[in-house]
Amino acid sequence: MSSAMPNICVLISGNGSNLQAIIDAVAAGKIHGKIACVISNRPDAYGLERAENAGIPAICLDHKAFEDRDSYDAALMETLDSYAPDCVVLAGFMRILTADFVDHYLGKLLNIHPSLLPKYKGLNTHQRAIDNGDEEHGLSVHFVTPELDGGPVIIQCKVPVFSDDDAGTLAQRVQEQERHIYPLVVHWFCGGRLTMNNNKAVLDGNVLPEGGYAND
């Protein structure tokens, strides 16, 4: 990564609340980097408007215009590489990425997942936590590897599950924490403090445990 401002590229599919948190953190000087572009696979993603409002190139690369996953990911890589990304942030990007794509950006590809990994990989995590009677739930930020939601965890944040929760109220509680945690991780990465070595997350030279930083 260059000592100049690292280029951050953000991939979205929807509202872009985590994108907004990162935009705000960059504007406040809390992240040593610049958002080079925002790309959505859906033309109706509100996050594109958030990017435009911040003066960031907002690109729609509609997956429906491509025959298959491989051709889409190849076009996505070509678009991303034109912005020379140092960090690629998945912020609610609702597509499973090909191994070729992941390998191309290995070590600089971040994702946030709404569960305490390795629990509840995939979708519907909040309802699954409720259905299983969990007393705590949360989120994980992790490096992306070819295994779905299986890359090394960087940090987790726990929230309580209350008896009267439904998937919506629990999701809201998790999302409130996401908006604090994700910019912090991007800050670490762009500052050169966070790397991935031998499929492990490393912060300030220390290999992080399976549950990530400061996991109790």
User: Does the annotation count 113 as an active-site position?
Assistant: yes
Which among 63, 104, 113, 137 is annotated as catalytic?
113
Question: Would the pLDDT of 109 be above 90?
Answer: yes
* Chain-centroid distance, C-alpha 158: 17
The predicted model scores a pTM of 0.95
CATH 3.40.50.170 domain residues, the chain? 1-105, 115-141+155-216
Q: Which residues pair with 142 in a beta bridge?
A: 111, 153
CB-CB contact of 188 with 214 (8 Å): no
Overall average pLDDT of the 92-108 stretch = 96
Q: Is the pLDDT of residue 155 over 90?
A: yes
Q: What is the rounded distance in angstroms from the CA atom of residue 1 to the CA atom of residue 35?
A: 15
Q: In the CATH hierarchy, which top-level class contains the domain 115-141+155-216?
A: alpha beta
pLDDT confidence of 4, banded at 50, 70, 90? confident
Query: Could you tell me the fold of the domain covering 1-105?
Result: Rossmann fold (3.40.50)
Over residues 22-61, the pLDDT tens digits come to 999 999 999 999 999 999 999 999 999 999 999 999 999 9
Average of per-residue pLDDT across 154-164:
97
* Confidence at 2, pLDDT banded by 50, 70, 90: very low
Q: What is the pLDDT of residue 215?
A: 58
